[in-house]
Amino acid sequence: MKKPTKFLFHILIFVLAQFAWFSLVGIWIYWYITNYLLLSEVGDTAAPHLLSGNINILALVSGLVLLVMLSVGMLLIFLYLNRQLNITRMYDNFIANVTHELKSPLSSVQLYLETLMKRRIDPGHQNQFYTLMLKDIERLNRLISSILYLSSLGHKKVAGKLAHDYHIYNADSVLRKVLKEVFREHNLPDESFSIDGAANCRCVIDQYWLKIVFNNLTDNAVKYSSEKPRINIRLGVGSKYFFITFTDKGIGIMSKDQKIIFNKFQRIYNPLSPNVKGTGLGLYWVRQIIHHHGGKITVHSEGKNMGTTFRIALPIYKVYKRQYINRLLRLSQKNRPSEDNGGENEG
């Protein structure tokens, strides 16, 4: 409720300011006309030199133009300040969410370590604790990586120093491998996901970044499912792109929110999942990674409890965007250590 109230307050202030300016214009015009009529009646005998039609009209028009320019300037200032207020609010929410996201896994790891130090734990439970701690550390690593990646987007020099490891792969093989790794890390049973279709073409992919894409999509599918998550992946090939359709059976996304869901710091509140936390960077990060691969991503949902479908299109190697894809390969070769022979190539 705070956001609409603040917005209406800003609108009210702007309307009152404009009303004051236009009231001043009205009073000024009324004063000008009444005085001009008075001078017209007595000016011929009292002071003929005071009457000059062209000069008076020029003064009136110039004054009106300046007041209109001032009004437009106030409008632009209002829009700019309102946008800055929205950005400030988003940053405040981002800091609060990041703090929560950092504290949760740290508290969990601390609890496990204190338990291991103070009590004798059988080997079976020790391995379980280690597994859970590794998951929390991986969660922290993803969060820190997303923040670093975000900060680098606005600085080309920093972005150029990010780790790149693009290689040529068989799209079908690398996608199935990455997807199965992601589902396994999220402890999804085999019956909770399916991979249909095929993408028998070549592509240039950074497996690490592609895994982050599916990690974020899978994490959302799990968090925003009211029942056991169910994910379907469909692969396909077009003339210039190959396609990955990622569909879940979650709570869905309203049509008005689908237009902004990829924006930075954008989190959509849903009463069906009120306790879901996040930074608002996941899908923004996903879109940026897909974009840097030369692809594009779209989202579609029929609405409440109708699930969500993300459609990813990535270029086929040596068919589309050849110059851009070759630049990715050169960038990876430049950043790769000299002792590395290039890693995995076509699968």
Domain ranges of the chain: 2-42+53-91, 107-159, 166-335
Show pLDDT as tens, one digit a residue, over the chain (347 residues). Answer: 445 555 666 677 767 777 776 777 777 677 767 766 666 666 555 555 554 555 556 666 766 777 777 777 777 777 777 777 777 776 766 676 667 667 778 888 888 888 888 888 888 888 888 888 888 887 787 777 767 766 665 555 544 455 678 999 999 999 999 999 999 888 888 889 999 999 999 999 999 889 889 988 998 888 888 788 899 999 999 999 999 999 998 888 887 778 888 887 666 656 555 455 555 677 888 898 899 899 999 999 887 778 899 999 999 998 877 788 888 888 777 655 544 444 445 44
The per-residue pLDDT for 340 is 45
Q: What share of the chain is helix, strand, coil (3-state, %, to 5)?
A: 60, 10, 25
Residue among 232, 225, 209, 231 at smallest CA distance from 286? 209
The per-residue pLDDT for 226 is 76
Tell me the C-alpha distance between 152 and 132, whole Å: 30
Tell me the C-alpha distance between 18 and 6, whole Å: 19
Tokens standing for residue 232? 């379907």
The answer to whether 256 and 336 have CB atoms below 8 angstroms apart is no
- The string over 83-100, giving b where at least 16 C-beta atoms fall within 10 Å of a residue's C-beta and e elsewhere, is eeeeeeebeeebeebbee
Largest interatomic CA distance in the chain: 114
The per-residue pLDDT for 288 is 87
Query: What stretch of H or E contains 316?
Result: none
User: Strand runs (DSSP E) across the chain, as ranges?
Assistant: 166-170, 193-197, 202-206, 231-237, 241-248, 296-300, 308-315
The per-residue pLDDT for 338 is 46
pTM for the structure as a whole? 0.63
Q: How far apart are the first and last CA of the chain?
A: 53
CA triplet 35, 40, 45: central angle to 5 degrees?
Answer: 120
In this structure, the strands spanning 241-248 and 231-237 are antiparallel
Tokens 């929560």 correspond to what residue? 100
The answer to whether 234 and 172 have CB atoms below 8 angstroms apart is no
Which pLDDT tens digit goes with each residue over 246-279?
Answer: 999 888 888 777 888 888 766 665 655 545 555 5
Match domain 166-335 to its CATH number in 3.40.47.10, 3.40.309.10, 3.10.105.10, 3.30.565.10: 3.30.565.10
Tell me the C-alpha distance between 193 and 178, whole Å: 14
Distance of CA 252 to the CA centre of its chain: 18
The per-residue pLDDT for 63 is 66
What does DSSP assign to residue 48? G
Which pLDDT tens digit goes with each residue over 49-63?
Answer: 554 555 556 666 766
Q: Tell me the backbone φ, ψ of residue 133, rounded to 5 degrees.
A: -65, -40
Tell me the C-alpha distance between 43 and 56, whole Å: 14
